[in-house]
Amino acid sequence: MKEINYILEKEKEILLHTYNRIPLEISHGEGVYLVSKDGRKYLDFFSGLAVNALGYGNEKIINAIEEQIKKIIHLSNYYINQPQLELAERLIKYSGLSRVFYTNSGTEAVETSLKLVRKAFGPDKKIITFSNAFHGRTYGSLSLSGKEKYKKHFTPLLANILNLEFNNTEQIEKNLDDNTAAVYIEFIQGEGGIRIVSKQFIEKLEELRKKYGFVLVADEVQSGIGRTGKPFAYNHFNIEPDLVITAKAIGGGLPLGALITNKKYSEVFQAGDHGSTFGGNPVACAAGLAVIKEIFRTDLMNNVEKLSNYFISKLKQLSVKFPDKIKEVRGIGFMIGIELNFPCNKIVDDFRKNGILVNCTSENVVRILPPLISTKENIDQFLTAFDNLLKQ
């Protein structure tokens, strides 16, 4: 305890105060667990914010990284590195799209897409985003945010961005027109509280896209790479976006993101229009390749789907048992939110005291993002702890 207090004080003294740190000193990870310096094991149902899809210490990722590090750690993008190509082939296969640009993070992939949209449509056409949307922290992606609290100190932001209500079909019908360049959407909002887009909304969006020809951009930074039991969350909605943005899980814990375009938008950028020193780093791409090969084993994806059905149905039973405490349970695959009737900070702390790590988002939504390798026993551990906490 003394040591953790010292570290927290030191951190306050020498780092900028942008994070509310959790008072835990982590020593290492093992499978679905994080282990603290004092040897306590924590079931990590947050997965490094949807990054550690295969848990900690995955041999295939470690081997891929080791092998690549011995060959070359960094190679300028003036040269082609083999892992970039192999990973791009897989991303194209699983997205059904056409070409890839690599970045180091989600927000950079969003920035890349914004430049592409502006280049294709010019500066005056509007870009549509939705309430509660989260697309990152840099200026372009922040301009797309549907949360005022993230934007309020940082104006002026990018011009010609219109924020509409998520899942409000009438609003898109009224506001989308010939003057619309792009629509940015998370099919399942993560930071926004695990909110799922409705089928009617997507149908209307598709009808309007056919009519007006805007770019449909799927932000799959959190929901992609198997998190929902399918390669991307849009796969649940019978629609193919023009651009797909992915990051987080794709690098197996190393910084990696990607913008994937369909054929129509694959020629917008020409040499010199965009670039990145580290984007598509060979070690990150080698790790990514190992991640993709492992995640898209059909038995792993089937397992996520099966266990998710079990998990969500049990949570719904708890919501019937504790109607005054649980407002709603939402989710697809291993992207699950429990909306409480009160702020969730305390219950998240209590979970931690019981050896389970989850997150609180949008003030009252417990966000659960288990590693995709989690078992029924792991889920039962969570359910038993939750039941006990709700009784208190």
User: What is the binding site for ligand PLP (CB under 6 A)?
Assistant: 105-107, 110, 134-136, 186, 190-191, 219, 221-222, 247
In whole angstroms, the minimum distance from the beta carbon of 101 to ligand PLP comes to 15
Q: What is the CB-side half-sphere exposure of residue 165 using CA atoms within 13 A?
A: 7
Nearer to ligand PLP, 46 or 121 (CB): 46
Nearer to ligand PLP, 7 or 49 (CB): 49
In whole angstroms, the minimum distance from the beta carbon of 137 to ligand PLP comes to 6
Strand 99-103, strand 126-130: pairing: unpaired
| Residue whose beta carbon is closest to ligand PLP | 106
Nearer to ligand PLP, 34 or 110 (CB): 110
In whole angstroms, the minimum distance from the beta carbon of 17 to ligand PLP comes to 18
Residue with tokens 């990145």: 276
Give, rounded to a whole angstrom, the gap between the first and last alpha carbons of the chain: 26
In whole angstroms, the minimum distance from the beta carbon of 340 to ligand PLP comes to 21
Nearer to ligand PLP, 110 or 329 (CB): 110
Euclidean distance between CA atoms 203 and 363, whole angstroms? 30
Question: Which amino acid makes up residue 68?
Answer: Q
What Rg do the C-alpha atoms of the chain give, in angstroms? 21
Q: How far is CA 1 from the centre of its chain?
A: 33
Contacts of 187 (CB under 8 A, 6+ apart): 196, 197, 202, 218, 220, 223, 232, 233, 234, 236, 237
In whole angstroms, the minimum distance from the beta carbon of 150 to ligand PLP comes to 11
In whole angstroms, the minimum distance from the beta carbon of 111 to ligand PLP comes to 9
Contacts 24+ apart (CB under 8 A), 37-40: 37/3, 40/355
Nearer to ligand PLP, 136 or 337 (CB): 136
Nearer to ligand PLP, 197 or 326 (CB): 197
